[in-house]
Chains A and B, each alone.
Chain A
Amino acid sequence: MSAPGRDTERIKWHCRRGLLELDLVLQRFVDRHLDTLSDVQTDVFKELLAYEDNDLLDMVMGRAEPVNGDLSAVLELMRSA
């Protein structure tokens, strides 16, 4: 199930970042996966988006792992997007 109503739009805007690398990765992720994320996955994605840019980029590039292991599955989707 996709994020209800305008929440999808809000998430899309939160994919606008200070780092171009994240803009690019998140744009691909949104195009490929956002519509098919489960509610749980959507919440995890929002949690990932709450990270600071450089920390999130480190995770996306595989230079760091999230402290919270529950984030791993969605992070893997982002890494392969």
Chain B
Amino acid sequence: MGNTRNIPRRQFDAVVVGAGGSGLRAALQLAESNLKVAVLSKVFPTRSHTVAAQGGVSASLGNEEPDNWHWHMYDTVKGSDYLGDQDAIEFMCRKACDAVVELEHYGMPFDRLDNGKIYQRPFGGHTSNYGERAIKRACAAADRTGHAMLHTLYQRNVRARTQFFVEWMALDLICNQQGDVLGVVALEMETGEVMILQAKATLLATGGAGRIYSASTNAFINTGDGLGMAARAGIPLEDMEFWQFHPTGVAGAGVLITEGVRGEGGFLLNKNGERFMERYAPTVKDLASRDVVARAMATEIKEGRGAGKDGEYILLKLDHLGGDVIDKRLPGIREIAKKFANVDPATDPIPVVPTCHYQMGGVPTNVQGQAIMPDGRGGEKIVKGLYAAGECACVSVHGANRLGTNSLLDLLVFGKSAGQQVVKDIAADVASMPELPADAADKTMARLARLDSATTGERVNDVGAEMRRTMQAHCGVFRFPDSMAEGVKKMLAVAERAKSTFIQDKSKVFNTARVEALELDNLVEVALSTMISANARQESRGAHDRSDFPNRDDVNWMKHSLWFKEGNRLEYKPVQLKPLTVESFEPKARVY
């Protein structure tokens, strides 16, 4: 062992893994501080999944009506179903206005009011005066807010001379005996060569891992690479049971069908043609809130009343509205349905399923973006050299449920904050680059060698499909105890199978099969952490909704889950109920 010396090595002050919003915001902070920064990205930075964010970024600017950060904080705490850490939420909401104004100064083309100020629009869950009424708090650039944000941050990074490694995939963290993180082992896709990127600071910004579900709005690149790397390095993953779902994504595709369809008179049918929402919500029926609709759909599917060959979806009927009304009131829906569901909703119902959208959990961090984990003596320690921000981190501002528009805010605030902390830590630690252990890349090289030499085994696609099916059926939007217990067994089997994947294509240059096999390793860690954390949490809170424990249990479960890969072990840590400067928001029933 100890073949590290044969692997090319480069040294940086900081390595950022991922070039979406949080990675770019963090990298900007570092590059503008004249640090030597490498940003690794599997795809060109402006093709990161942040580009898909449409809604906006929230900040209590008060451009449209009076607002303040404390109201925003209340909405975020309540939205999190009281699992969010109130210190982190205060931190984020207080910094929101500065973050948005700073972005404006970078050239972000926000929509504007006639008086020149940034236009703001209402968004679900955002209120004035602690829940009194809806407020206009979301700042947007038409329906391309994420796109505009990525471009603005990318341009700024180019100006700051950030060094990008495009089409590079980070494979593993490098750790020493003490568990300090010393950089990453990464794969250059164009050559298939492996390199060690040694760094005083490694910042994970790899986004979510929504591809663990068969129904997901996430792009194919969202494979949780940072989470897999952290898990393999012995770092726990926090609150992985919490995933936000949307009730109506196109079955088998994931593309969202707007809730406006039901607003305009569309309704849901089971395989018997029954309008089942009449049973679950007799008054409002299909216009019930998202979680009620999603739960009813999941129940129909679980009880064998789903449509389709395997009873796996629900039908969204809107043909009774007529083609003209559909075209006029729901522009674009026919094109989306035709392209992604292969049906014309003017004549046939659209097959839909509850669809995974956003990951609330991730690598545990403090508000400075430093990775933290239990110290084994009842306390917490900082993982030296490791930072995380954005959807791959759990700071935790979203708790059990994210408030709309807080995802873009999260990546701006904590991307910057993590960058600032890296600058501070590097300045304080004048020591030269820490020594790499002799076996720095051994585990990674062994993983690659196995993949390169195996001539038989499991097909990557088969194992991936089984993982996605298992997660969708056993750990979806509404969770049943018998089904989850079975899901744990199935996921453990999937994880075993994933150890013996093989690929036909053994070439080095642009071997996408190899990349997909390595991505699967990461997805499996995420899926396993989700399945096991969900099975253990005996309550319903936010996005974790169980049939056998329908209520929130603040006495026993107001705590964060920490899943460790080794032994599939769970630990828990308390929710930080104490904000930085203000009074706590005491838990109340979450009703809107």
Complex CA–CA separation, A52 to B144 (angstroms): 12
Q: Which residues of A contact B288 (CB under 8 A)?
A: none
Q: Are B218 and A20 in contact (CB under 8 A)?
A: yes
Among A18, A21, A25, A53, chain B packs the most CB atoms within 10 A around the CB of A18
Residue from B43, B332, B335 within 8 A of A18 (CB atoms) = B43
> CB of B203 within 8 A of chain A?
no
Q: Which residues of B contact A61 (CB under 8 A)?
A: 332, 335-336, 339
Q: Are A17 and B43 in contact (CB under 8 A)?
A: yes
A52-B147, A61-B335 known; A20 vs B254 contact (CB < 8 Å)? yes
18 A-B pairs with CB atoms under 8 Å apart are A6-B507, A9-B511, A10-B190, A13-B167, A13-B189, A13-B515, A17-B219, A18-B46, A18-B52, A18-B219, A20-B220, A21-B255, A24-B340, A52-B147, A53-B47, A53-B51, A54-B147, A63-B332
Residue from B51, B189, B335 within 8 A of A54 (CB atoms) = B51
- Listed in ascending order, the chain B residues whose CB lies under 8 Å from chain A are 42-43, 46-52, 144, 147, 150, 167, 189-190, 216-221, 253-255, 332, 335-336, 339-340, 507, 509-512, 515
> Shortest Cβ distance from B458 into chain A, in angstroms?
22
Please report whether the interface of chain B is mostly helix, strand, loop or mixed according to DSSP: loop
- Taking CB atoms and an 8 Å cut-off, the chain A residues in 10-63 that contact chain B are 10, 12-13, 16-21, 23-25, 52-54, 61-63
Q: Are A18 and B221 in contact (CB under 8 A)?
A: yes
- Chain B, Cβ-Cβ closest to A9: B510
Residue from B216, B335, B340, B512 within 8 A of A13 (CB atoms) = B512
A9-B510, A10-B510, A61-B335 known; A19 vs B253 contact (CB < 8 Å)? no
Q: Which residues of A contact B217 (CB under 8 A)?
A: 20
Q: Which residues of A contact B48 (CB under 8 A)?
A: 18
Q: Which residues of B contact A9 (CB under 8 A)?
A: 509-512
Q: Which 5 A-B pairs have the closest CB atoms?
A: A18-B51, A9-B510, A6-B509, A18-B47, A23-B220
Complex CA–CA separation, A6 to B507 (angstroms): 9
- Chain A, Cβ-Cβ closest to B52: A19
Q: Which residues of A contact B51 (CB under 8 A)?
A: 18-19, 52-54
Q: Which residues of B contact A16 (CB under 8 A)?
A: 42-43, 47, 219-221
- Chain A, Cβ-Cβ closest to B250: A24
Complex CA–CA separation, A16 to B220 (angstroms): 7
Given A18-B46, A53-B46, 8 additional A-B pairs, CB 8 A: A6-B509, A10-B510, A16-B43, A16-B219, A17-B43, A18-B221, A23-B220, A25-B339
Q: Which residues of B contact A12 (CB under 8 A)?
A: 512
Q: Are B340 and A17 in contact (CB under 8 A)?
A: no
Complex CA–CA separation, A10 to B219 (angstroms): 18
Complex CA–CA separation, A73 to B509 (angstroms): 30
Complex CA–CA separation, A25 to B254 (angstroms): 12
Q: Are A24 and B253 in contact (CB under 8 A)?
A: yes
A25-B339, A52-B147, A54-B147 known; A18 vs B50 contact (CB < 8 Å)? yes
Residue from B332, B340, B510, B515 within 8 A of A6 (CB atoms) = B510
> Shortest Cβ distance from A18 into chain B, in angstroms?
4
